[in-house]
Amino acid sequence: MSTNQEIIDDLVAFYGDAEILPTRAQWQAVVENTHQGSVVIINLITMREKAAYPDGSDSELSGMEAMARYSEISHKKVAEVGGEFVIQGMFGGTIIGQNEAWEGVGIVRYPSTKAFIALFSDEEYRQGHVHRMAATLKHQMSLVLEV
């Protein structure tokens, strides 16, 4: 069984520390979270006009098409860790607060933070991560602890 530090080190080693990814401190906060209930992840995303794969492949794809590739894998893997997509859709606007432009919204419920971490540790999910990175220009991910 891995320690929290080993899990954090693994997540940072695989995913890195890019602007659209969690920082080491953010990974640590999730891994060390002691909440005993389900959690909801709120994703706000802006897509690239054209997909940007690191090897230059599939340059004809739009960001939305690359995100569709990622979604095929993520839907399956989220279900395998006991999670469920609550909603996916297009961002409709800000009602209260700063009006920040987003394109897509994804809300996913997990039975626990451990299940959420299990998703990001899954090898098949990691293989599909390249599509998410190719698709995404801007991403905000928020954690909600259900009570």
Mean pLDDT of 33-58: 95
Name the percent of the chain lying above pLDDT 90: 89
Directed axis angle between helix 123-135 and helix 113-121, to 10°? 80
Residues 50, 76: Cα–Cα separation, whole Å: 25
Give mean pLDDT, residues 26-55: 96
Confidence at residue 19, expressed as pLDDT on a 0 to 100 scale: 80
Residue 28: its pLDDT value, please? 95
Model confidence at 100, in pLDDT bands (50, 70, 90)?
A: confident
What average pLDDT does the segment 5-26 reach?
91
Contact present, 87 and 106 (Cβ < 8 Å): yes
Condensed to tens digits (0 to 9), the pLDDT of residues 47-73 reads 999 999 999 998 899 999 999 999 999
Mean pLDDT computed over 108-137: 96
Mean pLDDT of the chain: 94
pLDDT bin (cut points 50, 70, 90) of residue 32 is: very high
- Judge whether residue 101 has pLDDT over 90: no
Q: In this structure, is the dihedral angle defined by the CA atoms of residues 95, 97, 100 and 102, taken in order, positive or negative? A: negative
Q: What is the pTM of this model?
A: 0.91
Residue 42 has pLDDT above 90, yes or no: yes
> Is residue 99's pLDDT more than 90?
no
Contacts of 66 (CB under 8 A, 6+ apart): 48, 51, 53, 58, 131, 132, 134, 135
Residue 44 has pLDDT above 90, yes or no: yes
CATH number of 35-145: 3.30.70.100
